[in-house]
């Protein structure tokens, strides 16, 4: 819940990757997520594509991983240790 509203990378079980803003997760112990402003990764172009979609629902069984990006304050706290 602490990461709602953060920009994340979501990898689906089929290998597709989306970049977007994490929305509400279902509250019944499932891990379905809503991804706002979803931008699928285009491997041929090496970029994330604007689709015009407002949001997508990703079911728990389709989620391989969710990567939450560090914000600037969090990055400052570990920058020296990571060499970033």
Residue 72 placed within a domain:
yes
Tell me how far apart the alpha carbons of residues 50 and 39 are, in angstroms, rounded to a whole number: 5
At residue 28, the pLDDT reads 66
* pTM of the full structure: 0.77
pLDDT one-digit tens code per residue, 10-61: 999 999 999 999 987 666 666 788 999 999 999 999 999 998 899 999 998 8
Residue 2 placed within a domain:
no
At residue 47, the pLDDT reads 93
Give the number of domains in the chain.
1
Tell me how far apart the alpha carbons of residues 50 and 53 are, in angstroms, rounded to a whole number: 8
Residues 6+ apart with CB under 8 A from 6: 21, 22, 68, 69, 71
Whether pLDDT at 69 is above 70: yes
The domain spanning residue 43 has which CATH number? 2.30.30.100
* Domain around 25: 7-82
At residue 84, the pLDDT reads 58
């Amino acid at each position: 819940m602490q990461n709602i509203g953060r920009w994340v990378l979501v990898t689906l079980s089929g290998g597709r990757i989306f970049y977007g803003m994490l929305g509400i997760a279902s509250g019944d112990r499932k891990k379905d997520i809503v991804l706002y402003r979803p931008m699928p990764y285009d491997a041929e172009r090496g970029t994330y594509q604007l689709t015009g979609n407002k949001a997508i629902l990703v079911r728990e069984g389709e989620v391989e991983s969710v990567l939450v990006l560090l914000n600037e304050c969090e990055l400052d706290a570990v920058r020296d240790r990571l060499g970033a």
